[in-house]
Amino acid sequence: MLSDQKEPAKADRVNALIAEMSLGEKVGQMVQVSSDDGTLTDTLRDNIRGGRIGSVLNQVNPDVVAEMQRIARDESRLGIPLLIGRDVIHGFNTVLPIPLGQAASWNRELVQKGARYSAMEAASRGVNWTFAPMLDVSRDPRWGRIAESLGEDPYLASELGAAMVRGFQTDDLTQADSILSCAKHFAGYGATESGRDYNSANIPDTELHNTYFPPFQAALAAGVQSVMTSFSDVNGEPPTASVWLLRKILREKWGFPGFVVSDWGSINELVSHGVAENDCEAAQLAVNAGVNMDMVSNVYASYLQDLVEQGIIDEAWIDEMVAQILGVKFKLGLFEASLDTVDSRLPTENHLNMARQLALESVVLLKNDQDLLPLDIESSQTIAVIGPLADDGYEQMGTWVFDGDAELSQTVLDALKDSHGNSTTVRHVRALDTTRSYDAREFDHARTAARESDVVLLVLGEESILSGEAHCRSDIRLPGAQEALIEAIVECGKPIVLVIMAGRPLVLDAIVDKVDAILFAWHPGSMGGPAIVDLLFGDAVPSGKLPITFPRAVGQIPIFYSHRNTGRPPSKDTVTHVDDIEARASQTSIGNQSFHLDVDPSPQYCFGYGLSYTEFEYSELTLQPLRVKAGSQVEIDVCVTNTGSREGEEIVQLYTRDPVASLARPIRELKDFCRIKLAPGERRHIHFSLPTDILAFFDRDGRKRLEPGRFQLWVGGSSEADLIADFELVG
């Protein structure tokens, strides 16, 4: 039964309601069904009326939702309202940059505002529950769902994931335009082998605790009330059947008060995993593990009542599971909520402006030779705009946007004509039908446009369908004939700006030296076009920083900044390339290091990297005290100066390392960051307070350890910051 010391009245109401419920009605609260056809069928109507359903997925017609809620509240025996779930992953009608793009903003407040506006739009259609944020720490860009992630770093994912939770839920879940958030996928889904969806993940317990758990703990601290299990198995055990993950860690250790939902069909997939003989056994495993709600498997509806009546599952356990669901429904205020539709005049201009700002801050300037960007109006009178993504409002929205309105999208071509059509001549050539096309018949047309223009704007990348769930890639170069298109345009001898829209980091090694400037825009959402054009012409200055490492070659994956040092770390001075090895060279291990023979061991672009139209200089790093006691904090000051000629925003990043510990620790770990704006020549002192608790790590037994010793600390503009200081932690 539910025991909530903070809200005893709600707990009393939940317990009183459970006391009135039949076993069938209890099971009904644990059943979620999908309404994919968008209609209220007679079967669905009857099941709601009979108390056999607790949640409905994928219904966004506000009138139908209102009718479903009316039936649940007025015609079912106990009047228990429904949870209405929908994937509101990066926007609703107004589409924001994909979450990986939002992570490139490193902007907690703006990410929270994006979730807030998304919740308002979704709530206006009757939705009260979203399956976001996705908190899987993700280090394999082949994985399609990396687009939904917040990148490779547990601290950045924790900060931005918590911001999303606060944006969706606010501090008052009973508000009509607040919706329930869901932290997913618990746990380790981002580490699936070979970057394939639904695959196995093998993660040592130390890595689970130190890398993959922290974003979920941050979401719990932010008040998240639902958690979704992972499709994958972790160390041979699917989380949907894991007593250790769901009861020992999530409930007992972390004190999670909400409810757990399976991912789509993941309960009956326990049979495919090979841990259940049949669907009945799968239902037993999942409910015993602590999965409160079955997402569309229908195994709880089919077997749970019989399992209780046969004495295999204790009804008291069912009562506890149902109490957790009902407790969240009361927290949402569903029992008191009006059945009237919420204001549906959304999205508003404010929403579009927010989407534009988030898109702008998510774009990362990777390259800018000879300061080609921002473009000079006087020397860019004629612009060739080439590529399949230059004028495609649908594709720029990105993956998993069921409710995204492509008519709201403003493309790069649209924005360029709107803002600079009177001062520039724009020659547009699609060149390729899709990003996957190998048909080069339009290349001559593209070359002609390039030759007749002052500058070429190539807008390339991936269509939205090439990333997202079940859209994993083994080769993450630009698909189709896009590299050949770049080669063809290079022949024209004109300056080339490459804008890339994609759902993942791409391998750019083959083309990075052939273009003059690169803006990596991810899939930027509805307002991507105006944001990109603002950056192209200097109406805004790039400030995005990479939330994930870009490899030089697929063979480097996984490659991430916070790796351990190894016993033989590579150094640039001693790395041997395959082409430098003499024929019939003798085999030896002496002096060898950890690297691949056929690629530079460094990434193409490191975590935290991103250029600006100005320059920032870091100096005067000081720490106080230099010997710090456990339980206190280190006070850090650094001076940041804008040494360029333009105003710009910099993301100041703080990293630490524990160089000697009982377990080998990462070479660097992000511990804090802040965003600052500096005028040309402006110099500012930035202060961080670093609690010593943040230096602790988990050992093999899952115990948190804070070990005395020397620590290193860096502050700078990327994970390769070189301004360093030391301090000592004493007991």
- The yes/no answer on whether domain 86-320 falls in CATH 3.90.1150.10 is no
Residue 537 CA to residue 129 CA, distance in Å, equals 40
Residue 420 CA to residue 443 CA, distance in Å, equals 26
What integer best gives the mean pLDDT of the chain?
A: 96
pLDDT in tens, 208-251: 999 999 999 999 999 999 999 999 999 999 999 999 999 999 99
- The H or E element that residue 163 is part of is helix 154-169
pLDDT band at 11 (very low <50, low <70, confident <90, very high): confident
- pLDDT of 593 reads 87
pLDDT in tens, 560-590: 999 999 999 988 777 778 888 899 988 887 7
| Domain 349-536, second-level architecture | 3-Layer(aba) Sandwich (3.40)
Sort 248 into a burial class: Cβ within 10 Å, 0-12 / 13-18 / 19+.
middle
CA 184, 190, 196, 202 torsion: positive or negative? negative
- pLDDT of 588 reads 81
Q: What is the DSSP letter of 284?
A: H
Half-sphere exposure of 271 (CA within 13 A, CB side): 11
pLDDT band at 329 (very low <50, low <70, confident <90, very high): very high
Q: Which CATH class is domain 616-730?
A: mainly beta
Average pLDDT for residues 528-535, to the nearest whole number?
98
Q: Which of 153, 263, 294, 403 is catalytic?
A: 263
- pLDDT of 339 reads 67
313 phi-psi bin (left φ>0, alpha ψ -120 to 50, beta other): beta
- Asked if residue 342 has pLDDT above 60, the reply is no
pLDDT in tens, 309-325: 999 999 999 999 999 99
Residue 280 CA to residue 35 CA, distance in Å, equals 24
Fold: same for 349-536 and 616-730: no
CB-based contact 300:24 (threshold 8 Å)? no
Residue 584 CA to residue 576 CA, distance in Å, equals 15
Q: Directed axis angle between helix 482-490 and helix 443-451, to 10°?
A: 40
pLDDT in tens, 34-82: 997 778 999 999 999 999 999 999 999 999 999 999 999 999 999 999 9
pLDDT band at 4 (very low <50, low <70, confident <90, very high): low
pLDDT in tens, 103-136: 999 999 999 999 999 999 999 999 999 999 999 9
Residue 198 CA to residue 183 CA, distance in Å, equals 18
Share of the chain above pLDDT 90, in %: 92
Average pLDDT for residues 349-358, to the nearest whole number?
96
- pLDDT of 67 reads 96
pLDDT band at 156 (very low <50, low <70, confident <90, very high): very high
Three-state secondary structure readout of 384-404: EEECCCCCCCCHHHCCCCCCC
pLDDT band at 706 (very low <50, low <70, confident <90, very high): very high
- pLDDT of 168 reads 98
Q: What is the DSSP letter of 234?
A: B
pLDDT in tens, 464-492: 999 999 999 999 999 999 999 999 999 99
Residue with more model confidence, 574 or 610: 610
- pLDDT of 345 reads 60
Residue 73 CA to residue 107 CA, distance in Å, equals 41
Average pLDDT for residues 91-99, to the nearest whole number?
97
Residue 473 CA to residue 171 CA, distance in Å, equals 40
Structure tokens at 507: 């391998």
- pLDDT of 577 reads 84
CB-based contact 458:486 (threshold 8 Å)? yes
pLDDT in tens, 483-525: 999 999 999 999 999 999 999 999 999 999 999 999 999 999 9
- Asked if residue 348 has pLDDT above 90, the reply is no
608 phi-psi bin (left φ>0, alpha ψ -120 to 50, beta other): left
Half-sphere exposure of 219 (CA within 13 A, CB side): 34
Q: What is the DSSP letter of 377?
A: T
Domain boundaries, the chain: 86-320, 349-536, 616-730
Residue 607 CA to residue 605 CA, distance in Å, equals 7
Structure tokens at 13: 């109401």
Helices marked H in 213-253: 214-221, 243
306 is annotated as an active-site residue: no
